[in-house]
Homo-oligomer: A and B are copies of this chain.
Amino acid sequence: MKISFEELKAQFKKVLLKLDFSEEKAERCATIFAENSRDGVYSHGLNRFPAFVKLIKEGQINIEAEPEKVGQQGMVEQWDGNLAPGMYTAQVATKRAIALAKENGMGLVAVKNTNHWMRGGTYGWQAAEAGCIAICATNSIANMPPFGGTEARLGNNPIVIAVPRQEGHLVLDMAISQFSYGKLQEYELKGEELPVTGGYDEDGNLTKDPAKIRVSERPLPIGFWKGSGLSLMLDVLVASLSGGRTVAEITADTVEAGVSQFFICINAQNLDQSISNRIIEFAKSSDSMEEGGSIRYPGESSLATRRKNEEEGIPVNEEIWQQVLAL
C-alpha cells in the first residue's frame, strides 16, 4: 500500500495535535517523521511513530518543553533539551549551528537532556540545504560490548557527516554498530544470514546468524577495535561538550531518554563543489564486484528513494498505518 507524503504528514500532525502538541511543534515533528519514510528510512518514520506516541503518553518526552541555551564560549554553545521531542530539539540545534556558521564560518551546539533524534540524516540534510557542512553525533543506550569485552558498554552512537552539493547532497548517516538490533531482527524474520559477520555467538565465535547475536547481545562495532574506540570517543565528545549524560548513565535508567548530542556546522557557501564531484566520479570509476553492480556515494540511495516515493507514493506497512489512523 502506498500513500502520499501529504497524507502521511497530515495524519501524524493530527495525532500530535490530539496529544496537545503546539501547532508549530506538531508541524515540525510530523514533517520529520513523514520525510524519514519518504526517504526510505521507514524504521524511523511511520514504523517508529507508534513507539514515539507511547513515550509521550508515558511522560518520557515532555511535549511542552523548549530547548534553551545554558552556556556559551564563543562559537560553542551548550543547550538543555529539557526532554522535549528529540527531533524537534535536534532541528532547533542544527538551525542555531547553521546561524553561527553563517556568521562566523562555523559553530557548534551541544545539547544535553534531549531525546532520540530518530534519523540522524535529517539534520545533515537540513544543514546541507542551508549550504553548510555538518558533523553531528548522538549517544544512545549501551548496545555493544567494547573490543575485548562481552557485555554491552558502548552505544551505537550514530554520526552524521553532510556536505552540500547541487547534484545531490552527500550525507553519511552511520551508527557505529555493523548492524542495528532492528536490522538483525529483519534478517532473522526473513530467515536470512547476515551478508557479513555481525557479532559473536554465546561461545565467542564470530557469526552471521542474526538470532545468535540477538541472544548473545554481542553485536560488532564496525572494524572491531577501531569502531569500539570511535564509539567511546563519540560518547566522550557528546557528553563532555554538552555536560550531559553518558552511555553509562542512560543505560542505568534502562530507558533511552535524556541523551547527549552535538551539531557542528561549517559554512560551505564559498567551497568548490567540483571537488566533491571529482571524488564521486573517481569512486564510481572502479570496476564492480558484481556484474551490473554499482558504487554509490553516501546519500545517493536516499535521494533516489525520495524521488521514487514522491512520484509513486510512500510504501507503508498497512498494519502500522491502520494503527496510526486509530491513534
Contact = CB atoms under 8 A, between A and B. Distances in A.
Nearest to A229: B298
Given A148-B290, A247-B279, A105 B75 contact: yes
Contacts of A76: 105-106, 266-267
B240 A224 contact: no
A14 interface: no
A191 interface: no
Nearest to A268: B240
A246 B279 contact: yes
Contacts of A190: none
Identify whether the interface residues of A are mostly helix, strand, loop, or mixed.
Answer: mixed
Which residue of A161, A240, A276, A293 has the most chain B CB atoms within 10 A of its CB atom?
A240
A227 B106 CA distance: 26
A116 to B, nearest CB: 20
Given A178-B226, A222-B223, A296 B148 contact: yes
Interface stretch (A42-50, A149-157, A310-318): A149-157
Interface size class of A (residues with CB under 8 A): 35 or more
Given A233-B298, A295-B148, A282 B104 contact: no
Given A73-B105, A149-B289, A153-B285, 6 more contacts: A106-B106, A149-B288, A163-B233, A174-B226, A222-B224, A232-B280
A236 B148 contact: no
Contacts of A325: none
B163 A237 contact: yes
A6 interface: no
B150 A288 contact: yes
Contacts of A7: none
A53 to B, nearest CB: 31
Interface string A100-143: 00011110100000000000000000000000010100000010
Given A145-B286, A153-B286, A272-B240, A172 B233 contact: yes
B271 A241 contact: yes
A246 B278 contact: yes
Interface in A271-327: 271-273, 275-276, 278-283, 285-290, 293-298
Contacts of A32: none
A146 interface: yes
16 contacts: A74-B267, A75-B75, A135-B135, A148-B290, A148-B293, A153-B282, A161-B233, A172-B229, A196-B224, A221-B223, A233-B298, A239-B275, A240-B273, A243-B271, A246-B278, A246-B282
B150 A287 contact: yes
Contacts of A239: 275, 279
A153 B267 CA distance: 28
Contacts of A282: 142, 153, 246-248, 251
